[in-house]
Amino acid sequence: QVHVVESGGGLVQPGGSLRLSCASSGNIDSVYRMGWYRQAPGNQRELVATITETGLTNYANSVRGRFIVSRDNADNTVYLQMNSLKLEDTAVYYCQATALVGGKVHDYWGQGTQVTVSS
């Protein structure tokens, strides 16, 4: 069984910072890519940032320059440092892992963590 668990969400003022963490565990052969997606009320889930096992990153234009994604390959853990937070960043943030498990590649998702930016 593969587990993907997020943590670090909460309430923060506009302009503030927050750091999210996500750990993947289980009988995983290799985690090719990990990342963050978010879904605000009434909106579709969208990509925030991803990072490959080699360190290649990808960011949504809306967060580029404000958010930083990083990972610890040894622990199969991904982080999202969110700076200069805006009201529109309010959403449920989901951790995602693309991993080789049992000889097959699958996407695994966490349950999400709420981030609320409010003045």
Residue 1 pLDDT greater than 90, yes or no? no
With 90 as the cut, is the pLDDT of residue 32 above it?
yes
Say which range, 56-60, 88-92, 101-105, has the weakest mean pLDDT.
101-105
Indicate whether 74 pLDDT > 90.
no
Sheet holding 18-25, edge to edge: 3-7, 18-25, 77-82, 67-72
Percent of the chain's residues with pLDDT above 90 = 91
Residues with Cβ within 8 Å of 112's Cβ and at least 6 positions away in sequence, in order, are 6, 39, 92, 93, 94
pLDDT the model gives residue 75 = 83
Q: What is the mean pLDDT of residues 54-73?
A: 95
Q: What is residue 117's predicted lDDT score, i.e. its pLDDT? A: 98
